[in-house]
Amino acid sequence: MLEIKSFEFGPFGTNCYVVHTENEVLIIDPACSNQYEQQQLYACVNSLNLPSTALHIVATHGHLDHLWGAKWATEQWHMPVLMHEADIPMAQAMQQQYNLFGIRRAAEVFPIENLKSKIKNLKFEIINTPGHTPGSVCLYWPEEKVLFSGDTLFRMGYGRTDLPGGNMGQLIGSLEYLFALPGDVHVYPGHGEATTIAAERR
């Protein structure tokens, strides 16, 4: 049984999720952008009383708003952020993203590793969903019928493709794949309210 805690963090209203299974904890998109948000995430994770070896920090893609708290989180729990290899260069060039959005902030370096090479033997699937970014992924628990969709699929919408690396043709293909999932799959997106596959494929 999954236990899901959700937070809306940062100036872009990004959803961060803490997913607790029987013996594992995932922080999905460490978007905490200030000390108050960091404290909220810290308190939630530590209340689960699991060893740090049971924790993974996962990014659904490499955009800045999903990684505001990446450096803090990697230092707090002494582990890298895991993401699809195609988005690692984007995350490593964070200053370019800050400059693109006119954000006056110095980029912080944090450790990143390949998601698929590190996540093994867990009960969820990593679904490649390029389009919003080349390395966008969704995390899917088929037994629980739960999908964390990042910025690929929203309630009544989908991710933009006009930023560097975006590709509308790829996004359409990714959405078609997701819409083939069972209709009662609950979707937890990177922004906005939760939804279901059935509601979005109408």
Domain of 147: which CATH number? 3.60.15.10
- The pLDDT value given to residue 50: 82
Asked whether residue 34 carries a pLDDT value surpassing 80, the answer given is yes
**pLDDT band per the 50, 70, 90 thresholds, residue 147:** very high
3-class DSSP string for the chain: CCEEEEEEECCCCEEEEEEECCCCEEEECCCCCCHHHHHHHHHHHHCCCCCHHHEEEECCCCCHHHCCCHHHHHHHHCCCEEECHHHHHHHHCHHHHHHHCCCCCCCCCCCEEEHHHHCCCCCCEEEECCCCCCCCEEEEECCCCEEEEECCEECCEECCCCCCCCCHHHHHHHHHHHHCCCCCCEEEECCCCCEEHHHHCC
155-202: pLDDT as tens digits: 999 999 999 899 999 999 999 999 999 999 999 999 999 999 999 988
- The pLDDT value given to residue 78: 94
Residue span of the structural domain in which 15 resides = 3-200
Asked whether residue 117 carries a pLDDT value surpassing 80, the answer given is no
- The pLDDT value given to residue 107: 85
Q: For the chain, how many structural domains are there in total? A: 1
